[in-house]
Amino acid sequence: MRTTVSDTRIEAELPSPPDELVQLLDPEGRRIEDPLYDPYVSDVSGEALLRLYEDLVVVRRIDVEATALQRQGQLGLWPPLLGQEAAQVGSALALRADDFIFSSYRENAVAYCRGVELPQLVEVWRGTAQSGWNPYAVNMATPQIVIGAQTLHAVGYAVGCRHDGVDTATITYFGDGATTQGDVNEAMVFAASFGAPVVFFCQNNQWAISEPVGLQAQRPIAERAPGFGIPSIRVDGNDVLAVLAATRRALDRAHRGDGPTFIEAVTYRMGPHTTSDDPSRYVDPLQREEWAAKDPIARVEAHLRDAGVLTDETAASVAATADEVAAAFRAGCLALPNPAPLSVFDHVYAEPHTGLARQRSQQEAYLRSVGELEGGAE
Amino acid sequence: MRTTVSDTRIEAELPSPPDELVQLLDPEGRRIEDPLYDPYVSDVSGEALLRLYEDLVVVRRIDVEATALQRQGQLGLWPPLLGQEAAQVGSALALRADDFIFSSYRENAVAYCRGVELPQLVEVWRGTAQSGWNPYAVNMATPQIVIGAQTLHAVGYAVGCRHDGVDTATITYFGDGATTQGDVNEAMVFAASFGAPVVFFCQNNQWAISEPVGLQAQRPIAERAPGFGIPSIRVDGNDVLAVLAATRRALDRAHRGDGPTFIEAVTYRMGPHTTSDDPSRYVDPLQREEWAAKDPIARVEAHLRDAGVLTDETAASVAATADEVAAAFRAGCLALPNPAPLSVFDHVYAEPHTGLARQRSQQEAYLRSVGELEGGAE
Amino acid sequence: MTELTLAKAVNSGLRRALADDDRVVLLGEDIGPLGGVFRVTDGLQRDFGTDRVMDMPLAESGIIGMAVGLAYRGFRPVCEIQFDGFIYPAFDQIVAQVAKLHYRTRGAVRMPITIRVPFGGGIGAVEHHSESPEAYFAHTAGLRVVTCSTPQDAHTMIRQAIACDDPVLFFEPKRRYWTKGEVDEDADFPFDRARVLLEGADVTIVAYGPLVATAIDAAIAAGDEGTSVEVIDLRSLSPLDLDTVEASVRKTGRLVITHEAAQFGGLGAEIAASITDRCFLYLEAAPARVTGFDTPYPSARAEEHFLPDLDRILDAVDRVLGRQNALTGWSAS
Amino acid sequence: MTELTLAKAVNSGLRRALADDDRVVLLGEDIGPLGGVFRVTDGLQRDFGTDRVMDMPLAESGIIGMAVGLAYRGFRPVCEIQFDGFIYPAFDQIVAQVAKLHYRTRGAVRMPITIRVPFGGGIGAVEHHSESPEAYFAHTAGLRVVTCSTPQDAHTMIRQAIACDDPVLFFEPKRRYWTKGEVDEDADFPFDRARVLLEGADVTIVAYGPLVATAIDAAIAAGDEGTSVEVIDLRSLSPLDLDTVEASVRKTGRLVITHEAAQFGGLGAEIAASITDRCFLYLEAAPARVTGFDTPYPSARAEEHFLPDLDRILDAVDRVLGRQNALTGWSAS
Ligand SMILES: Cc1ncc(C[n+]2csc(CCOP(=O)(O)OP(=O)(O)O)c2C)c(N)n1
Ligand SMILES: Cc1ncc(C[n+]2csc(CCOP(=O)(O)OP(=O)(O)O)c2C)c(N)n1
Ligand SMILES: [Mg+2]
Ligand SMILES: [Mg+2]
Contact of B84 with B203, CB cutoff 8 Å:
yes
pLDDT of residue B10: 41
Please indicate, yes or no, if residue C188 is contained in any of the structural domains: no
Please indicate, yes or no, if residue D329 is contained in any of the structural domains: no
Minimal CA separation from D105 to chain C, in Å: 12
Q: Which ligand is nearest to the CA of C88?
A: 1
Start-to-end C-alpha separation, chain C: 52
Residues paired with D257 in a beta bridge = D206, D289
D92 and D32 part of one domain: yes
| Residue A273: active-site member | yes
Longest Cα–Cα distance in chain B: 91
Residues paired with C171 in a beta bridge = C117, C147
Report the CATH number that the domain containing residue C113 is assigned in CATH. 3.40.50.970
Helix (H, G, I), strand (E, B) or coil at B346: coil
Contact of D206 with D257, CB cutoff 8 Å:
yes
D188, D204, D270: which is closest to D237 by C-alpha?
Answer: D270
Assign D332 a pLDDT band (cuts: 50, 70, 90).
very low
Q: Please determine, for residue A5, whether its predicted confidence score (pLDDT) is greater than 50.
A: no
Q: Which of D152, D183, D214 corresponds to the end of one domain?
A: D183
Q: Which of D129, D151, D183 corresponds to the end of one domain?
A: D183
Assign B378 a pLDDT band (cuts: 50, 70, 90).
very low
C12-48 b/e with 16+ CB inside 10 Å = b? Answer: bbbbbbbeeeebbbbbbbbbbebbbbbbbbbebbeeb
Structural domain total, chain D: 2
ipTM of the modeled complex: 0.97
C56 and C165 part of one domain: yes
Q: Please determine, for residue A8, whether its predicted confidence score (pLDDT) is greater than 50.
A: no
H or E stretch covering D92 = helix D91-92
Helices (H), D124-283: 134-138, 151-163, 211-224, 242-252, 267-279
Q: How far away, in angstroms, is B205 Cα from ligand 4 center?
A: 5
pLDDT of residue C116: 99
B19, amino acid identity = D
A183, D87, A152: which is closest to B181 by C-alpha?
Answer: A183
C78, C66, C171, C53: which is closest to C121 by C-alpha?
Answer: C171
Longest Cα–Cα distance in chain D: 63
Contact of C94 with C133, CB cutoff 8 Å:
no
Looking at residue B168, the DSSP 8-state letter turns out to be: -
The number of residues in chain B equals 378
C144 and C226 part of one domain: no
- Residue D190 phi/psi, 5-degree rounding, is -60, 140
Q: How far away, in angstroms, is D34 Cα from ligand 2 center?
A: 14
Q: Please determine, for residue A360, whether its predicted confidence score (pLDDT) is greater than 60.
A: yes
Please indicate, yes or no, if residue C326 is contained in any of the structural domains: no
C75 and C165 part of one domain: yes
SS3 labels along B255-314? HHCCCCEEEEEECCCCCCCCCCCCHHHCCCHHHHHHHHCCCHHHHHHHHHHHCCCCCHHH
Atom index in ligand 2 nearest the CA of residue D58 equals: 23
Q: pTM for the complete prediction? A: 0.97
Atom index in ligand 1 nearest the CA of residue A274 equals: 19
C251 and C304 part of one domain: yes
Contact of B282 with B130, CB cutoff 8 Å:
no
Q: Which ligand is nearest to the CA of A79?
A: 1
Contact B135 C108 (CB under 8 A): yes
D205 and D303 part of one domain: yes
pLDDT of residue B5: 35
Rounded distance, CA B210 to CA B213, Å? 10
Task: Kindly calculate the radius of gyration of chain D based on its CA atoms and give it in whole angstroms.
Answer: 20
B163-194 b/e with 16+ CB inside 10 Å = b? Answer: beeeebbbbbbbbbbbbbbbbbbbbbbbbbbb
User: How many Cα neighbours within 13 Å face the side chain of D11?
Assistant: 21
pLDDT of residue B13: 37
Q: How far away, in angstroms, is A174 Cα from ligand 1 center?
A: 9
Assign A19 a pLDDT band (cuts: 50, 70, 90).
low
Q: Please determine, for residue D278, whether its predicted confidence score (pLDDT) is greater than 50.
A: yes
Q: Give B86-145 as a DSSP string.
A: HHHHHHHTTS-TT-EEE--SS-HHHHHHTT--HHHHHHHHHTS-S-SS-HHHHTBPPPP-
H or E stretch covering D77 = strand D76-80
Please indicate, yes or no, if residue D188 is contained in any of the structural domains: no
D236 and D158 part of one domain: no
Rounded distance, CA B5 to CA A253, Å? 10
Q: Which of D143, D162, D183 corresponds to the end of one domain?
A: D183
The contact set of D with B (CB < 8 A) is 29-30, 32-35, 37, 55-59, 61-62, 85-86, 88-89, 124-128, 263-264, 293-296, 298-302, 305-306, 311-312, 315, 325-327, 330
**pLDDT tens per residue across span B92-146:** 999 999 999 999 999 999 999 999 999 999 999 999 999 999 999 999 999 999 9
Longest Cα–Cα distance in chain A: 92
Assign B18 a pLDDT band (cuts: 50, 70, 90).
low
Q: Please determine, for residue B376, whether its predicted confidence score (pLDDT) is greater than 90.
A: no
Which residue range forms the structural domain that includes residue D221? 195-320
Contact of B177 with B147, CB cutoff 8 Å:
yes
Catalytic residues of C: 129
**Pocket test residue of B104, B183, B209 for ligand 2, highest count of atoms within 8 A of CB:** B209
Q: Can you list the domains of chain A with their CATH numbers?
A: 38-334 (3.40.50.970), 340-378 (no CATH)
D269 and D235 part of one domain: yes
Q: Which ligand is nearest to the CA of D60?
A: 2
What average pLDDT does the segment D192-205 reach? 98
State whether the Cα torsion B181-B183-B189-B195 is positive or negative: negative
Please indicate, yes or no, if residue D190 is contained in any of the structural domains: no
Which residues make Cβ contacts (< 8 Å) with residue A304, sequence separation at least 6?
Answer: A29, A49, A50, A53, A310
Contact of B141 with B102, CB cutoff 8 Å:
yes
Atom index in ligand 2 nearest the CA of residue B178 equals: 15
Q: Please determine, for residue B17, whether its predicted confidence score (pLDDT) is greater than 60.
A: no
Contact C280 D267 (CB under 8 A): no
Contact C57 B155 (CB under 8 A): no
**pLDDT tens per residue across span A224-249:** 999 999 999 999 999 999 999 999 99
How many other β-carbons are positioned within 10 Å of the β-carbon of residue C224?
A: 8
D128 and D213 part of one domain: no
Helices (H) and strands (E) in chain C, counts: 11, 14
pLDDT of residue D96: 98
What average pLDDT does the segment A254-271 reach? 98
* A253 near D CB under 8 A: no
Rounded distance, CA A134 to CA A131, Å? 8
User: How many Cα neighbours within 13 Å face the side chain of B101?
Assistant: 34
A284, A273, A270: which is closest to A209 by C-alpha?
Answer: A273
D9 and D154 part of one domain: yes
- Residue A204 phi/psi, 5-degree rounding, is -85, 95
Rounded distance, CA D13 to CA C71, Å? 47
| Residue B282: active-site member | yes
Q: Is B234 left (phi over 0), alpha (psi -120 to 50) or beta?
A: beta
D60 and D165 part of one domain: yes
Contact B146 D85 (CB under 8 A): yes
What average pLDDT does the segment C165-171 reach? 98
Assign C245 a pLDDT band (cuts: 50, 70, 90).
very high
pLDDT of residue B8: 36
Q: Please report the residues numbered 57 through 76 in chain A whose beta carbons come closer than 8 angstroms to any beta carbon of chain C.
A: 76
What average pLDDT does the segment B55-79 reach? 98
Minimal CA separation from A149 to chain D, in Å: 7
C167 and C275 part of one domain: no
Q: How far away, in angstroms, is A50 Cα from ligand 4 center?
A: 55
Please indicate, yes or no, if residue C333 is contained in any of the structural domains: no
Q: Please determine, for residue C330, whether its predicted confidence score (pLDDT) is greater than 50.
A: yes
The contact set of C with A (CB < 8 A) is 29-30, 32-35, 37, 55-59, 61-62, 85-86, 88-89, 124-128, 263-264, 293-296, 298-302, 305-306, 311-312, 315, 325-327, 330
C68, C69, C64: which is closest to C29 by C-alpha?
Answer: C64
Contact list in A for residue B34 (CB cut-off 8 A) is none
Please indicate, yes or no, if residue C91 is contained in any of the structural domains: yes
Report the CATH number that the domain containing residue D223 is assigned in CATH. 3.40.50.920
Please indicate, yes or no, if residue C273 is contained in any of the structural domains: yes
B267, B281, B327, B240: which is closest to B53 by C-alpha?
Answer: B240
* Active-site choice (A269, A299, A303, A330): A269
